[in-house]
Amino acid sequence: GDSVTQMEGPVTLSEEAFLTINCTYTATGYPSLFWYVQYPGEGLQLLLKATKADDKGSNKGFEATYRKETTSFHLEKGSVQVSDSAVYFCAGGSNAGGTSYGKLTFGQGTILTVHP
Amino acid sequence: DTGVSQDPRHKITKRGQNVTFRCDPISEHNRLYWYRQTLGQGPEFLTYFQNEAQLEKSRLLSDRFSAERPKGSFSTLEIQRTEQGDSAMYLCASSFRGAEKLFFGSGTQLSVL
């Protein structure tokens, strides 16, 4: 079955440091890829997405590029802030046929803590 | 847009009891999903509805679990004869059909003693 392998955490950084969280996805075909974020006390929310090879998703200074050859979707941010402290989940979902949108396979999550 | 709401936020029950959770999706959304999340893991897909029709169920959803969405609006997830292994956060999400963005609720935390 489909699987998502996500960089283990937790990750602790100082403010303005560079962030990378690795994610690779194994599936039949080429799924859409997502990063969801969960801030303390809040529900999961979509951070960014990419639906095909070489697509780059970006939002709030975060970026991730869909690499077809490695089925990777690593999350990056050039300068993290304290407010970026959260749990980050990589996820993939079939985009074939239009009937499986929303059926996502998630990684285990990476806890990010940013110190001032 | 009032978001996806779930009730209750927390539920503590004894093993063998039945529990029911409710999810109210964003009103215009015709798709509704249930996920389960255990500590230190990502959410796992359980089932989803398009309007009132339950279109897919995961193998994780044993016979003790049943979900309904009778009028295509709110949904309920019932667990019968709860077991300690059912302890988890149960998440509900909704979306428009054909849209890839899911909107998640804050979840119901179930503890089975």
Q: What is the mean pLDDT of residues B57-62?
A: 88
Averaged confidence pLDDT in chain B: 93
Q: From the candidates A2, A4, A30, A44, which should be mutated to test the interface with B, based on the most B CB atoms within 10 A?
A: A44
Indicate if the pLDDT at residue A7 is higher than 90. Answer: no
Q: How many CA atoms lie within 13 A of B48 on its CB side?
A: 21
Distance CA A17, CA A13 (A): 6
Indicate if the pLDDT at residue B5 is higher than 50. Answer: yes
pLDDT of residue A95: 67
β-bridge pairing A32-38 and B10-13: unpaired
Indicate if the pLDDT at residue A41 is higher than 80. Answer: yes
Indicate if the pLDDT at residue A30 is higher than 80. Answer: no
pLDDT band for position B74 (cuts 50, 70, 90)? very high
Q: Compute how many other C-beta atoms are within 10 angstroms of the C-beta atom of residue B15.
A: 13
Which of these, A91, A92, A101, A57, lies nearest to A76 by C-alpha position? A57
Residue B27 burial (C-beta neighbours within 10 Å; 0-12, 13-18, 19+): exposed
More confident: A106 or A30: A106
Distance CA B101, CA A51 (A): 12
Chain B residues within 8 A of A104 when measuring between CB atoms = 43, 45, 102
**Helix residue spans in B1-113 (DSSP H):** none
Q: What is the mean pLDDT of residues A20-41?
A: 90
CB-CB contact of A62 with A3 (8 Å)? no
Indicate if the pLDDT at residue B80 is higher than 80. Answer: yes
In Å, how far from its chain's centre is CA A63? 9
CB-CB contact of B102 with B4 (8 Å)? no
Distance CA B77, CA B68 (A): 7
CB-CB contact of A65 with A23 (8 Å)? no
Residues 20-39 of A with CB under 8 A from B: 32, 34, 36
| Cross-chain CB nearest to B104 (options A32, A43, A101) | A43
